[in-house]
Structure formats: C-alpha cells, structure tokens
Amino acid sequence: MSPNYSPFGVTSNKGNTMANRYRVEIYDANKLNDVTIYSEQGVDKEYLTELVFSNIRNFSGKINAYVFDNVKKKKITAMFLDETIVNFNKQMLNKASRIDFGN
C-alpha cells in the first residue's frame, strides 16, 4: 500500500512537495498579530506589498514580511516597513474611511 493512500481512494497531499511551497510571514514589533499565508505559486515583490498593505490595519510598529521557500529552505523576498510609514498609512486609511456629513 502506498504511503499516500487514503481510505476513500483519493491520494492525499502528503507526498506532493509543491503544495504549500511558499510561506509568507508578516509580523509587527510585538508579534501579536502575525499573519502566515501558504502558496503554491511564487510570491513576488508586488504581491508581497499588496499582502502587507491590505493587512496594515492589523499591525502596529515596524512590520517585517518574508517569503520563505519550503523546498530550498531559504528566504527569497523580504519587505520592511518603518513605524513612521505604518502610522502614516494607517492615518490615511482612517481619513479615507471616515465619512463627514456635517458642514
């Protein structure tokens, strides 16, 4: 019997080395609100930037983001945002989402 055999007749994903090949880790200075995302396709700088800025409200302080290749066992892309950049972008998001009905 093969090690990837399932009782339902469907092979499991355990033998597939390409599944979840890339791990994206995004965390702030406190590491309280860290985000980990797994991907089968590569993650370039543009996509990493999109992931960081779409989750920027969840973080406070300096943000570190890494893309880790699980097959090669090394970091392939990194992004670092200083606390001033994070605070500025959070302020812009708050202004953009605030609706002022008074004149």
Domain boundaries, the chain: 22-97
Residue-wise pLDDT for 2-46, tens only, equals 444 444 444 444 555 567 899 999 999 887 788 999 999 889 999
User: Measured between alpha carbons, how far is 68 from 70 in angstroms, rounded to an integer?
Assistant: 6
User: Which residue blocks in the chain are alpha helix, DSSP H?
Assistant: 45-54, 83-97
Helices (H) and strands (E) in the chain, counts: 2, 4
Residue-wise pLDDT for 39-97, tens only, equals 998 899 999 999 998 888 888 889 999 999 999 999 999 999 999 988 888 888 877 76
Cβ-contact 79, 29 below 8 angstroms: no
